[in-house]
Homo-oligomer: A and B are copies of this chain.
Amino acid sequence: MRRDIFQAIADPTRRSIITLIALQAMTPNAIAEHFDSTRQAISKHLRILTECELVKQEYRGREIYYQLEVKKMKEIDKWLDQFRKIWETSFNQLDKVLLTMKKQKR
């Protein structure tokens, strides 16, 4: 199923899960312990995160380890690029204005 990564990170619980499994692979049960909702609810979140490839699974016996696919996060970073350019240039424009004012002062 095709999933939107921005829709995936819209939910605060999912963002917490992402942070939780960023450095360590964890099982659904272990993850669920960090939240108030049921294991099934967490499982649903993991399904959504897996569907948009933000999270990868590794099967070990009856356990499944989930862990963040960090590379996928770059997509958000890439989308931010267009705005990064703006907030950098708007800073430059401010410098420009300040510079002009200094020049006029003389």
Chain A interface (Cβ within 8 Å of chain B)? 4, 6-7, 9-10, 12, 15, 19, 22-25, 58, 60, 65, 67-68, 70-71, 73-74, 76-77, 79-80, 82-84, 86-87, 90, 92-94, 97-98, 101, 105
> A80 CB to closest chain B CB, in angstroms?
6
Q: Is the CB of A23 within 8 A of B73?
A: no
Which residues of B lie under 8 Å from residue A15 when comparing CB positions?
6, 79
Chain A to chain B: the 8 pairs with minimum beta-carbon distance, closest first: A10-B10, A73-B83, A70-B87, A7-B10, A70-B86, A6-B10, A77-B80, A70-B83
Q: Which residues of B contact A82 (CB under 8 A)?
A: 19, 22
A101 CB contact (under 8 Å) in B58, B74, B94: B58
Minimum CB–CB distance for A63 against chain B, Å: 11
Give Cα A74 to B90, complex, Å. Answer: 13
CA distance A92 to B87 in the complex (A): 29
Q: Are A76 and B76 closer than 8 Å at their CB atoms?
A: yes
Asked if A77 and B84 sit within 8 Å, CB to CB, the answer is yes
